[in-house]
Amino acid sequence: MHARLAASGHMRKALSLLPSLAIGSAALALVCLAGAPVGWRTGLLPLKASFMLLSGAGLLGILAAILAALALLFAWRSLGRPRIALLFGVVILGIVFIGVGWHLRHSHAPPINDITTDTENPPAIVAALAARQAEGSVSEVYGGPAVANMQRLAYPDIEPAILTMPISQAFDLALNTASSMPGWSVIASDSHAGTIEATQASFWYGFVDDIVIRVRVDGNGSRIDIRSHSRHGRGDLGVNAARIRKYLAALKAAAH
């Protein structure tokens, strides 16, 4: 009898700790989630360590959701409405972590981060070279046929824009369109060479991608090629291809 009472007491004590453990784990997950990009941006953490901290945030968030669900299932009668609402929030946070992890794991984007409309002679990155070297970024040299083949299979729609206008007019249109793209910063333009360079930084980590636009004569009109290349990482989850699509769509809309 005493053993049963003791066991029951231990069980009640364990259940009473679940809400605090869930909320504490969720809070720590959020700290890690914020600390990962801050550590990278400030130079306190190398990229690999920052990603490990980000993974830790996901695991803590999922653990917190499990603990919160158990607390709601077995100890809800002893909880006030504010704590119940908070625990439901922790469960939702865990679901978000699971959803993001699932999306990243099952992304169909190929393991490349250099996309261009001209895979045989991609526009060269020039103005951003010093910044890339200072960051210790991946090589700006195009990966060749292997990368080109993966791009063609994943993004067969990435093609140059052919405009029925003289090159000077096409260059001005290309530059104005680049300047109007949300989040883009034009860092160089040379009308004689027919090149425009820009950058765009990601929201969370501040990862910078370099963009090069090249305008050339094409028969009686002009051909516009674009290249978008990430400075870090191996894959890009389709970000560079999406950026090129948006630019080309805006360019063609402006041309009509």
Q: What tokens were used for 142?
A: 């195009």
Tell me, what's the pLDDT at 5?
39
For strands 195-201 and 114-116, give the pairing: unpaired
pLDDT digits (tens, 9 = 90+) for 40-49: 888 888 888 9
Average pLDDT in the 228-246 region? 94
Cβ atoms of 231 and 209 closer than 8 Å: yes
Tell me, what's the pLDDT at 14?
64
Q: What tokens were used for 170?
A: 């096409």
Tell me, what's the pLDDT at 3?
44
Cβ atoms of 87 and 68 closer than 8 Å: yes
Average pLDDT in the 67-90 region? 87
Percent with pLDDT over 90 in the chain: 71
Average of per-residue pLDDT values in the chain:
90
Q: Is 114-255 assigned to CATH 3.30.450.40? A: no
pLDDT digits (tens, 9 = 90+) for 79-120: 788 888 999 999 999 999 999 888 777 667 899 999 999 999
pLDDT digits (tens, 9 = 90+) for 10-52: 556 666 788 889 999 999 999 999 999 899 888 888 888 998 9
Provide the H-helix boundaries in 112-185.
Answer: 129-135, 145-154, 167-180
Q: What tokens were used for 120?
A: 């045989």
pLDDT, greater one: 255 or 80: 255
Q: What does the alpha-carbon distance between residue 116 and residue 122 come to, in Å, rounded to a whole number?
A: 6
Cβ atoms of 200 and 209 closer than 8 Å: yes
Tell me, what's the pLDDT at 7?
44
> Minimal CA–CA distance to 224: which of 185, 201, 180, 254?
254
Tell me, what's the pLDDT at 81?
85
Tell me, what's the pLDDT at 178?
98
Give residue 252's pLDDT band: very low, low, confident or very high (50, 70, 90). Answer: very high
User: What is the signed CA dihedral for 196, 116, 201, 231, rounded to 10 degrees?
Assistant: -110
Tell me, what's the pLDDT at 82?
87
Tell me, what's the pLDDT at 88?
93
Q: What does the alpha-carbon distance between residue 75 and residue 12 come to, in Å, rounded to a whole number?
A: 9
Q: Is the pLDDT of residue 185 over 80?
A: yes
pLDDT, greater one: 19 or 156: 156
Average pLDDT in the 164-176 region? 97
Half-sphere exposure (CA, 13 Å, Cβ side) for 22?
27
Tell me, what's the pLDDT at 102?
83
Q: What does the alpha-carbon distance between residue 190 and residue 172 come to, in Å, rounded to a whole number?
A: 11
* Lowest mean pLDDT, pick from 61-65, 69-73, 178-182, 187-191: 69-73
* Long-range contact pairs involving 43-52 (C-beta distance under 8 Å, separation at least 24): 47/232, 50/205
Domain boundaries, the chain: 2-105, 114-255
pTM, two decimal places: 0.80
